[in-house]
Structure 1
Amino acid sequence: MRSADEKMKKPPKSDGGKETGRPGRNVGVALRQAYDEALGEAVPDDLLDLLKKLD
């Protein structure tokens, strides 16, 4: 339970959207990197066999 003093305190100010702990890194860059890495991975033979069976 909070005291009356705690309820009156303002939340900490935002830093304008800047990430802390990882300077210069944002979600868009991380998503692009993960996508590019996934594109470079080979398709497993089992999955290729299943896809051939669908044709």
Structure 2
Amino acid sequence: MRSADDEMKKPPKSDGGKETGRPDRNVGEALRQAYDEAVSEAVPDDLLDLLKKLD
């Protein structure tokens, strides 16, 4: 006899490395996009003031 807990313990079935429900995306491309977005963000003025106080 099998319980619901037994079903939860099974590893997910492999589908060739693709995640279901998500579009195929190159990991490197996604990381570059995240990096570019982070670099383009402005540094808040209060953080800049704090850094100036450390000098």
- TM-score, length-normalised on structure 1? 0.62
Which sections of structure 2, spanning at least 5 residues, go unmatched?
A: none
* Residue in 2 that maps onto 1:39: 39
Determine the C-alpha separation between the residues in 2 that align with 1:41 and 1:2: 52
Question: What does 1:20-35 correspond to in 2, within 5 Å?
Answer: 20-35=20-35
Deviations 1:2-46 (A, max 9, x none): 35xx78xx8664111112212222544333222211110000000
Structure 1 residues 52 and 16, CA gap change in structure 2 (3 angstroms): same
Which sections of structure 1, spanning at least 5 residues, go unmatched?
A: none
Determine the C-alpha separation between the residues in 2 that align with 1:30 and 1:54: 35
Amino acid at match of 1:39: V
